[in-house]
Structure 1
Amino acid sequence: MTRSRLAAAAALSALLFASACSDTDDGGSEGSSSGSGGSDSGSQTSSAAESDTVTAAPEGVASVSLEEAQDIATNLLSTAAQVQNGDGEEIADDAESAYRGHTYYAALAADELEAVEGKPERRDLISDPVEPNVLAISREDGQSPLLILVQTVPDSGAPELFVLSSPDDDPDRFRIAWWAPMLPGTDIGSFDRRSVGSPVVRQGAGDLSRSPRRAFTQLAELVDYPRAEDPAQIKTNGYAPQVREAAQKQADEVSEQARFSEKNALRTQTYTFYREDGSAVSFAALKRESEFDVRDGMELTPPEAFLAFEDDESITARARLDSYVYAALTIPQDDSRPEMIAAREQLINAAGS
């Protein structure tokens, strides 16, 4: 029986943030990675709600006060750091307090993978406290979820963005709904004053050139393998070419033993904040399924990351790795291209036989 090694097609972030790549495959030039903190006099940065239609007037009031938003962010991100510091069953309560839905499952999966990838350096929250910068707060519009966009700037590596959401105005119900590091050469832009809040997209395309859901669906098609014919043009600052290159390499390595495909789809809600200039920044997670259909008489040897979820050291029929791809896109009002400004991948499950 012919054997070949199966590579875990996840977690490209280390590659992406180690070096900035020219985006020759999907066009555009790069800027500088940045995200400015929120003064309340006008210049800020914004996050996403779950659809698209501005439901608030140009002037209004933020759904959460700046002081309260700062406290919520500090508490949640500190709890998330405790999750990263902990291990196994001891993190369960903190994970439920910090995350909700897919981000909760992604945090538990990351903990499972620490046995393979190693545990991150422990953070001492006394000497190195979390210092979040609130960039934008959703404007009060009588709808949910309430949203807060936050940025942190670590001592090394790229700035990180976080979307915090709550179904109501109870500060204890906020959770981390999305997070990812910014891509090199990107800028999140400016938002309305935090005291008046930023309008968010609730459904449709609103004042944008396309709806956030359509933009993320187009991004998914752009990174599928095999690649879709004539995909939409999105500036990805090097991300899409690297994903396609990794998929092609994986397909080539197992071509004699298995047929490889990779499908991405939007499986979560979107969170979209309008920026000060009328464009928007939207946040969502794609679900990626990397599938191996083993040819008759062939066998694949799974990597350690696969074995963290599935105790099968010999794959003779099929295998699948599931990942979440956390992405942030800027969406213009005109016909110019959306731009990907942040990305993170997390392997969450594997199965095979």
Structure 2
Amino acid sequence: MNRHTRRLAGIAAAAALSAMLSSCAAVAGVSDPPTATVGGAVSGSRASGIAAQVTTLAARATAAASGADGDALRAAAFTGDALTAANADAKLAATLSQAQKDALALTSAAPVVLAVSNGLSYPRQMLVQTTRAKSGLPVLSLLTTPDSRTPFRIAASATMLPSAEVPSFDQLAQGAPLLGSGAGLAAPPQKLLAAYASSLAFPAPAADANAPFEDDASAAAVRKNAQAQSDGLSGSGTLTSQSSAKDVVGGFKVADDRGALVFTVIQRKDTILNRTQATITPTAQFTALTGLSNIKAEATLDTLEFVVFVVPASGQARVVAAQEHLVAATGT
């Protein structure tokens, strides 16, 4: 039988290393001890110092290879899904072109602390902004610490969409209220995330006229990429994509009770079924994660999408930042 190959287009290569921020084993960003005056959980100067430490260490860690030493560095700087994404990014680093690496590079400018949580209790959070060197787009990172013994670690990070804006927060000296349960928002964060995730399915679901969110460029790109992937199969296979709400990581209430900035994580599973006897040739990213150089029957790709919403007190939420990371793949 005549065999031929078809190329499996990359689904999540555009931002393969965007959240690879790591630190050395030194403890960076331990919170200030409680004080008698309730205000920001850490002082403005201390917050700036923590942000500078993390971003400086991040610049050094982007070259850290996958393996025990690199994993230890990333574990010191990341937590939760951000750590999963960072470790996967390290495995995919060698597959990036120089142009892709350049697109992910940050400027040397000092990071800007946009918000710190108020009060004396834990967990505590910080919102930090850095900037992509090539595009000039800001990157929003949520740093968290669960207790006084644990340094701040990166829990989520995403590049802002062009023309997106982030509202103002209470001053650092005062501290900003944390998201909490999301009471008082136009849409509960978990409900919003579930609806948004469902809208990313492929084949595309029917549009929801009552969606609690506005259309955005990130969701449009996800759908466009899925359609291109499906078209590329040329009838030899089928693509299905399902996204589900994974976590509301945290966030801050906006000044004057005008809403909140909410960091979330979506888990996407793309499944390709080969309907012919042809061999599918996977991308370098797929091979790096699986070790497979061809696919005969089926391929699955798991992607984590970090999505940041501005959720108003009334009206539709809008996406202001998004970043996706291919974290796992299988094939037969």
**TM-score, normalised on structure 2?**
0.83
User: Which residue identity lines up with residue 73 of structure 2 in the other structure?
Assistant: D
Do structure 1's residue 207 and structure 2's residue 207 form an aligned pair?
Answer: no
- 1:271-309 Cα offsets, whole Å, 9 max, x none, are 121101421110112111111122253432211111011
Contact 2:186 2:316 in 1 (8 A): no
d(CA) in 2 for partners of 1:62, 1:271: 17
The corresponding residue for 1:39 is: none
Equivalent position SS for 2:62: helix
Amino acid in the other structure paired with 1:195: A
2-structure distance, mates of 1:251, 1:154: 31
User: Which position in structure 2 is the counterpart of 1:223?
Assistant: 200
Give the AA of the match of 1:196: Q
Q: Per the alignment, in what secondary structure is the counterpart of residue 319 of structure 1? A: strand
Selected match of 2:89 from 107, 110, 116: 110
CA separation in 1, counterparts of 2:212 and 2:6? 35
Point out which structure has higher relative CO (alpha carbons under 8 A, 6+ apart): 1
1:270 aligned onto 2:219: no
> Which residue of structure 2 aligns with residue 63 of structure 1?
41
Q: Is there any run of 5+ residues in structure 2 with no aligned partner, and where?
A: 17-36
How far apart are residue 136 of structure 1 and its match?
0.5
2:118 counterpart residue number: 139
Which among 282, 297, 305 is matched to residue 302 of structure 1? Answer: 282
Question: Aligned pair count?
Answer: 303
Superposition RMSD in Å = 2.6
Deviations 1:293-338 (A, max 9, x none): 222534322111110111222212211111111111010111x211
Cα displacement (A) at 1:234:
2.4
* Structure 1 residue 333 corresponds to structure 2 residue 313: yes
In the TM superposition, residue 91 of structure 1 has moved relative to its aligned partner by 2.4
Q: Which residue of 2 aligns with 1:49?
A: none
Secondary structure at the counterpart of residue 268 of structure 1 = strand
- The one-letter code sitting in structure 1 at the alignment partner of 2:8 is L
Secondary structure in structure 2 of the residue aligned to 1:267: strand
CA distance in 2, matches of 1:339, 1:124: 26
TM-score, normalization by structure 1: 0.79
Query: CA offset at residue 176 of structure 1?
Result: 0.5
Are 2:307 and 1:324 equivalent residues in the alignment? no
**Displacement of 1:12 after TM fit?**
4.1
Shift of 1:87: 2.3
Identity of aligned residues (%): 28
- Determine which of 48, 61, 81 is the counterpart of 1:83: 61
Q: Would you say the 8 A contact 1:328–1:341 is kept in 2?
A: yes
Report the Cα offset of residue 202 of structure 1.
Answer: 2.0
Which structure 2 residues correspond to residues 18-167 of structure 1 after superposition, within 5 A? 60-89=38-67, 90-118=69-97, 120=101, 131-140=110-119, 142=121, 144-157=122-135, 158-167=137-146
The list of structure 1 runs, each at least 4 consecutive aligned residues, that deviate by more than 6 angstroms after superposition, is none
C-alpha displacement at 1:266, in angstroms?
A: 1.8
1:343 aligns with 2:322: yes
